[in-house]
Amino acid sequence: MKNTVLMTKGSISKNIIKFAVPIFFGNVFQQLYNFVDSIILGNFVGKEALAAVTSSSSMIFLFVGFISGIFMGAGVVISRYYGAEDNETVSKAIHTNIAFAVFAGIALTVIGLILTPHILVWMKTPDSVISSSLIYVRIYFGGIMSVVLYNAASSVYQAVGDTKHPLIFLIVASLINVTLDLIFVGLLKWGIAGAAAATVIAQTTSFLLAIGYLMRSKDVYHIDIKKIRINKDLLKEIVKMGIPAGVQNSVIGLANMVVQFNINIFDDVAMAGCGAYSRIEGFVFVPIMSFNFSLTTFVSQNLGAGEYERVKKGVRFGILTSMVLAESVGLLFFLFAPKLIAIFNSDPEVIAFGSKQAHIEALFYFLLAFSHSVSAVLRGAGKSFWSMVVMLGCWCVFRVTYLTVVISIIQQIEVVFWGYPLTWFLSSFIFFFMLFFSKWQKGFSIKKEPALAFPPREDKTVR
């Protein structure tokens, strides 16, 4: 298993970095083809096409984010048994995960195709943009099965500590996506339909590569088509672990849709500028998510092996590193925002909107990193329910309430932008107490239901 990382032994920092670095570069390539998508659309088609993709993105994340959260739960379950060296249960969990993915992919295809047109109307997507948005989401959801199955396969790689192969798959997919973008949009002039088709083909390629390698592997994570079936007990465990993460993702997606709703009020120029900002912000998530995946796997494997002190040391290292990297990227974004936004579209108004958002949000990325990192730690410890509760309260209820109330009084787009750092601060404040004053690392077991993140009331621990 030379391509995997067993995090229960050896240097803590080296294990976490060894796991995170391939994910980092994989995410860079993934963001790169989103980046190129937007550049090509913004320059070859126009700001309306860039606005259409932006309008669709938060809605797509609402659906895909929930399913991705379930697979995060699957990764925790597989990683837990892998850390305990229970190979038979690892195999059953992997095949249950793939079987569930097939059913989830079918459901998501149907739901996405039926509901997305209505959601775009509810979001008050401008008439100049809505037809292009519909084309994009229909093609995207037509190929959503590949996204779901790739996420299922990716959760297996993450659980056993193999981040090198997903990196290769993402590099190949990114190169295919960029090449097809240039052909479909730049050369053949297929517009937004060409960009959507290029994305679907690239995602299908990454799925085929990921599943294909697992089927050829002779290790414990080998996939045998004949064994793909649902084990009820393991599915229950996966869903129990995954639903809070899925709800958390969907909550973030729903809150972002409300934000997008308020941005849409300021017309397609604002949508294009904020869309360009979001593509650049995607690179901020690269170090954050890289260490998040690493922390989840590290915590799950080591708690499965009973290495409690090792877990604490790894958590401190992972969170601090993630925060430093995120803030470093944010500082660069703050300084060079106008030039970066101009890459997507040269319209001065588009640049102004995107730069304004960067100058309000970019210096607070360390809070974003801290919230996501603690959430990853709790997920790895089997405490994803509490992470979901915090995100639901701060990133959805508070953010939506803030926008609804304040934007009705002060109708300026800066009000929308400030919604992000305010909610990052609130969630970080709560997560700080959860991390340092609750016994989140206790009660972890592969044989029984995980204990709550907080101890009983009589312990008088901060709740």
Q: What is the pLDDT of residues 166-210, one digit of tens each?
A: 889 988 998 898 899 999 998 998 988 998 999 999 999 999 999
Residue with tokens 């240097």: 11
- pLDDT score of 227: 93
- Identify which of 301, 295, 285, 296 has the alpha carbon closest to the alpha carbon of residue 317: 295
CA angle 81, 86, 91 (to 5 degrees): 80
Question: Is residue 3 one of the residues assigned to a domain?
Answer: no
In a domain, 2, yes or no: no
Regarding predicted confidence, which is higher, 148 or 442? 148
Alpha carbon distance, N-terminus to C-terminus of the chain: 41
pLDDT of amino acid 1? 43
Q: At what angle do helices 191-216 and 12-40 cross, to 10 degrees?
A: 150
Whether 304 maps to a domain, the answer reads yes
Residue 382 lies in a domain: yes
- Residue 185 structure tokens: 């949009």
Dihedral, CA of residue 10, residue 14, residue 17 and residue 22, to nearest 10: -80
Is position 238 within any domain? yes
The mean pLDDT value for 409-415 works out to 90
How many CB atoms sit inside 10 A of residue 330's CB? Answer: 21
Cα R_g (the chain), whole angstroms: 21
In this predicted structure, what is the pLDDT of residue 4?
A: 63
Assessment of whether the complete model's pTM goes beyond 0.85 = no
Task: Give the count of domains, the chain.
Answer: 1
What's the distance, CA 359 to chain centroid?
Answer: 24
Domain-located, residue 462 = no
Identify the domain containing residue 319 by its residue range. 12-457
Asked whether residue 6 is domain-assigned, the answer is no
Find the range with the poorest average confidence among 15-19, 136-140, 337-341: 15-19
The verdict on residue 37 lying in a domain is: yes
Separation CA 55–CA 384 (nearest Å): 29
- Inform me whether the pLDDT recorded for 6 exceeds 80: no
Using one digit for the tens of pLDDT, what is the confidence trace for 315-374?
A: 999 999 999 999 999 999 999 999 999 988 788 988 999 999 999 999 999 999 999 999
- What average pLDDT does range 367-393 have in this prediction? 88
